[in-house]
Amino acid sequence: MTEAPTPATPLALTSETSRQNRASFPPQASAFVTALALSVYLALSGGGYDIVVRSELGLVVWWFVLLAVIVGALPRAAIPRAGWVVAALLAGFLLWTWLGLAWTTSHQRTLDQVCRVSTYLGVLVIGLCAVRADNARALVGGLACGIAVVSLLAVLSKLTPSLFPADTASSFYATARLSYPFDYADGVGEYAALGIPLLLYLASDARRLLVRAGALALLEPVLLCLAMTVSRGGILAAALAVVALLALMPNRIPRLVTLALSGAGIAVLMVALLGRPALRDSITAAPAPQRHSMLVILLVVMVAVAALQLLLQAAMRRIARPRWLEVGRRGAQAVAAAIAGAVAVAVAVGAANGTLGRLFAQFKQWQPSHGASQYSRLLSIAGSHRYQYWQVAWKAFLSSPLHGIGPGTYRYYWLAHTTTAHAEFVKNAHSLWFETLAETGIVGWLLIAGFFAAVVTFGAHRALLGTGPERAVIAAATAAVVAFIGAASFDWVWQIGVVPMVTMLLAAAVFGAAQRSAAERPAARRQPWRRVAARAAFAVATVVAMAVIAVPLTSTVEVRASQAAARADKLSVALRDARNAAAVEPAAEAPYLQQAFVYEQADDIPDAAREISAAIKREPDNYTLWLIAERIQTELDHPRRALADYRHAQRLYPTSTVFIG
């Protein structure tokens, strides 16, 4: 008679769990540290806006992917089919942007965009290769902590300004709104908004109660940072994220308690902030008593919400929830349908009584009305020029609906076609969707819109219909991607490198969270030659991706070295560096413009004229080049050519104060 197998003892189960935890610790730790380091480093490097900072990181990412794939360290498991789809969409957008070199009027601006998208694709690829169920939670936690650290530092830049010496030379504009470390208040607010659903997820789903309490404590400076930026785009992104989180998360009732507690904390902080007008509205440092008392209140609120969250979470673990608080899937669907119906009725009533028309008329206004406080702008939906930006972008799209006017060239189309007197110089259309339509046409728009639609659709499907513990982390990551979509609809966050790079990692977490690691899944049977061929093809693609980053990066570094040498009056060195830049990227205008400046500084005006002509040939829609050519022709005593150059510059930017006073 065969003896029946003995069931596993609790000790055996504990040992097995311990072994699994030890095995999963390295990928968890590396995911957490990498996410934390990337989100903090890029944010404190001006948000990753500068091409040098962004491109250096892109090269590091692609180089790491190349080595890891060659040695077999990546991917950790088979990438899901949906992950390949979104990677293909972003790669297609990269390729289409690259093809834009064939019709663009600025090779340099277009190649800069190719470099940007290549970097973002690298971050997505490394995320898809590395993130799996055993480290997705750690990745999301690292990003949440990184955003919280940056938000806290931003708040401290107002409360303890002596620790953050201002770099007035690089400041875009003076404002009382919190703008550290991006020097752009709306960008800081929109970056903080990405962290709100992630911290709410940790505050209600972390395995340890202390982590839940700490996450809620960190959420308070993130919310305060968002409030101090007075960013309407950031507030909209945060609202969309919270709505998406509650819609996608399972077990919503306990999360409402966490949300209410965080809301109470920020309410206390807002009362304290609004009661300190010098801190609230002053461009310069506020009086020390107001700053220091606000810092104390912030610390007290953080400790208080952490303690209350610890008690509430401990109580909810021990006290059974009443049955009347249990809401099934059908009940949740009924509530969602009721909310959607109420919104539809409100929209219909607003359209019937003219409210929507009045709101749209207000949106078309240039600026919000100024009240007694800068927070009065939150009561207005004036578009701050966005309606005008989008009008011109739509006109650019209609002029070339298939492939657009050329990636990176919206700035020149805006200057030539805006009808607003004294129109400002802007580089972006303040909307990823309108700018993509204008610059890359319907093809580029479908690719980038399809990318984000695929991420949100897959994430919502897995969060709502999944059955495993990964539902919550997928819901949080998807909600943060929704926040980015909202922010990108009204601002130029696509150009603030840290924001889309964090979003790419979150997109990777959406697809990777449900995937088992290589150690947990059966080994795939693949013929060796196919594996080698796939790795070789991937290696070639990776090298190409690095090359398109390295070219504009090297050219920019050489031009900046030339500018530094010229400031030091080392003209031979400056000329050498500028020529090196031209050799690396011969179709770019910046190296030739820099050579013209160096020759002009050396009083070699004929050579300066030759180089500025070369720059104009490479970027003919740049009105500043024509104005510089006008100056050089004047120095050559060629008044007719100088006048012709001046008039051409005027045609390119007719509303400039240079021409109309």
Residue found by looking up tokens 């898809």 in the block: 128
Would you state the pLDDT for residue 321? 64
Q: Are 382 and 232 in contact (CB under 8 A)?
A: no
In one-letter notation, the amino acid at residue 403 is H
Would you state the pLDDT for residue 26? 79
* CA proximity to 480, closest of 121, 230, 144, 186: 144
Instruction: Give me 361's structure tokens.
Output: 């008329």
Mean pLDDT, consecutive 10-residue segments, the chain of 661 residues?
A: 41 45 70 95 94 95 89 78 93 97 95 97 94 92 97 95 66 76 94 97 92 96 96 94 91 85 96 91 87 96 95 82 60 66 77 76 72 73 85 95 96 88 79 97 97 96 84 95 96 96 96 66 56 78 93 96 96 96 96 97 95 96 96 94 94 85 58
Q: Are 273 and 224 in contact (CB under 8 A)?
A: yes
Distance in angstroms (rounded) separating the CA atoms of residues 309 and 311: 5
* CA proximity to 141, closest of 238, 41, 74, 208: 208
Would you state the pLDDT for residue 167? 53
Would you state the pLDDT for residue 326? 60
Q: Computed over its alpha carbons, how large is the radius of gyration of the chain?
A: 27
pTM of the entire predicted model: 0.91
Q: Are 184 and 172 in contact (CB under 8 A)?
A: yes
Q: Give the three-class secondary structure for 327.
A: coil
DSSP E strands in 118-220: the ranges are none
**Where along the chain do its domains lie?**
27-161+178-317+337-373+386-512, 551-660
Distance in angstroms (rounded) separating the CA atoms of residues 67 and 213: 39
- Name every residue whose Cβ is closer than 8 Å to that of residue 362 and which is 6 or more positions away in sequence: 380, 381, 382
Would you state the pLDDT for residue 22? 52
Would you state the pLDDT for residue 660? 73
Please, what sign has the CA dihedral across residues 397, 403, 408, 412? negative
Q: Which CATH number applies to 551-660?
A: 1.25.40.10
Would you state the pLDDT for residue 484? 98
